[in-house]
Amino acid sequence: LKIAIIGTGNVGLVTGACFASKGHEVVCVDLDPERVSAINEARAPFYEVGLQALLEETVPDQLSATVDLETAVQGADVSIIAVGTPNTGSGIDLSQVETAALQIGKALRGRVDYQLVIVKSSVLPGVTDGRILPILENSSGRRAGEDLGVAMNPEFLREGQAVEDFLEPDRIVMGGSEERTWEIQERLFDGFGTPEIVRTTNATAETIKFASNALLATMISYSNEVGNVCSTVDGVDVTDVLRGVHLDKRLSPVLENGERVEPGFLSYLLAGCGFGGSCLPKDVRSFVDFGRERGVPMEMLRATLSVNAGQPERLVERIERRLGSLDGLSIAILGLSFKPGTSDIRETPSIPVARDLLGRGARLRVFDPVAQEAARAELGESGVYYSTGLSDAIDGVDAIVLMTSWPEFRELPRLLEEKRVTPLVFDGRRMLDRKSVAHYDGIGLGPQDERLDQLPDSTIDHEPIRKRV
């Protein structure tokens, strides 16, 4: 099929490159001429694993980019809207989606055949049919169900694994309203293996997206709440507690041969310093606002957000209880991105933790393998030293706070041993063995560290997935 994709952010460009790699002819549209040139030169304008290789494989034969939306849409069988939907604090800003719909509609005036427009941007339930469809009808002079199809096809891509998630989807949710809207989407996704396909209405498709992210966020806040209460009880470690929870065979089924299946989502059922990123916090906030406007108080999801918002301060208070006043202390923050594998610092808990520590008089040495520059723009230079590496970051510090579970941070116990130093290591991700450093503390660990020695060795296996599904 010939596809025009409006918006070349993470979702739009990954979608375009993946469709192109499956033999579709894709034109990506963006307002930014620099981004367009980069794509036409097969240079990924941002880092996403596997994207660069896909661009090299598909540009220029299967994939090209342009600023000219009208020509791209006129030459396509399907147009996909993949522009941003930021939450401005007073709800989701739909202006980019609406502008894209208006321009697509105008471009379609010049054509006579049936056209399918797919909304891929995350929009709240009812928006595709209630707001986008009328804009498309009015600007194109077409009627949905006659010569225009309008579909909602949410994406479930994780940053850092977006290409893999797109090429090997676990599900494809196809919103639509009439046979052709689903049929054309099935042609689009032909060759993507045999994932479960949910054919449904646009409003259900929209809701699936928000409900999915709300579940992930809720699992994290549930784990953090359990962790917070564990940290008040001597001799309790949340990692052991949650391991015990994971072993419920309804969460990790035991196969006939005795092998246990540990679903990937169990990693959202671990305590830590909170969730961030461009999706989970924004989507949960939007879903809460949406429910409230409809008279549903969304109490559980509000609690999901408030547990998450409180996590950075809890962590800092715990460090202060261990060390006394933080004034004048030197503290290393390891990890600034919201999760490993990305330089994205949007809503990362590392920033509020850093600000709080600075506010209490600490001097910081921060380190992240890729997010250092992004963090510099947020945190500035005052009181913050941007380290050149892990070893440099921990030089002479009184405490180390692990904020992002970058695999290289597992080197920390070895490095501390080499340097013969014993600062407090506060594990905000519970990624180290609790006995691997002299002074260990972490989220969800009972208050008295002398009891730690009495605990048996941690039963948490850091690579616990025996068979991942």
Q: Where does this chain bind ligand UGA (CB under 6 A)?
A: 155-159, 213, 216, 220, 267-268, 272, 275-277, 279-280, 283, 338-339
Least distance from C-beta 212 to ligand UGA, angstroms? 6
Q: Which two tokens stand for residue 20?
A: 């192109």
Nearer to ligand UGA, 157 or 336 (CB): 157
Q: Which two tokens stand for residue 256?
A: 């006939």
Sign of CA dihedral 154, 158, 160, 162: negative
Concerning whether 279 is annotated as a catalytic residue, the answer is yes
CB 100 within 8 A of CB 83: yes
**Catalytic one of 18, 230, 273, 279:** 279
Nearer to ligand UGA, 213 or 343 (CB): 213
All residues at 6 or more sequence positions from 46 whose CB lies less than 8 Å from its CB, including other chains: 10
Least distance from C-beta 354 to ligand UGA, angstroms? 16
Which residue in the block uniquely carries the two structure tokens 């690579």? 463
Least distance from C-beta 150 to ligand UGA, angstroms? 21
Least distance from C-beta 277 to ligand UGA, angstroms? 4
Nearer to ligand UGA, 202 or 405 (CB): 405
Closest CA to 289 of 210, 215, 389: 210
Least distance from C-beta 463 to ligand UGA, angstroms? 13
Ramachandran bin of 361, using left for φ above 0, alpha for ψ from -120 to 50, beta for the remaining angles: left
Nearer to ligand UGA, 120 or 434 (CB): 120
CB 39 within 8 A of CB 8: yes
Least distance from C-beta 269 to ligand UGA, angstroms? 8
All residues at 6 or more sequence positions from 259 whose CB lies less than 8 Å from its CB, including other chains: 466, 467
DSSP secondary structure string, 195-208?
-EEEEEEHHHHHHH
Least distance from C-beta 230 to ligand UGA, angstroms? 17
User: Measured over all CA atoms, what is the biggest interatomic distance in the chain, rounded to whole angstroms?
Assistant: 77
Q: DSSP class of residue 92?
A: B
Q: DSSP class of residue 332?
A: E
How many Å apart are CA 236 and CA 243, to the nearest integer?
A: 12
Least distance from C-beta 125 to ligand UGA, angstroms? 15
Nearer to ligand UGA, 339 or 363 (CB): 339
CB-facing half-sphere around the CA of 143: CA atoms within 13 A: 2
Nearer to ligand UGA, 161 or 436 (CB): 161
**Nearest 5 degrees, angle CA 122-CA 124-CA 127?**
100
Nearer to ligand UGA, 271 or 332 (CB): 271
Nearer to ligand UGA, 268 or 367 (CB): 268
Give the three-state DSSP class for 176.
Answer: strand
How many Å apart are CA 468 and CA 460, to the nearest integer?
A: 17
How many Å apart are CA 227 and CA 78, to the nearest integer?
A: 48
Residue 112 CB neighbours (<10 A) = 9
Least distance from C-beta 156 to ligand UGA, angstroms? 4
Any bridge partners for residue 401, and if so which?
A: 333, 426
Nearer to ligand UGA, 149 or 272 (CB): 272
End-to-end CA distance of the chain: 32
Any bridge partners for residue 424, and if so which?
A: 399, 439
Q: What are phi and psi of 427, to 5 degrees?
A: -95, 100
Q: What are phi and psi of 145, to 5 degrees?
A: 95, -20
Give the three-state DSSP class for 215.
Answer: helix
What residues act catalytically? 279
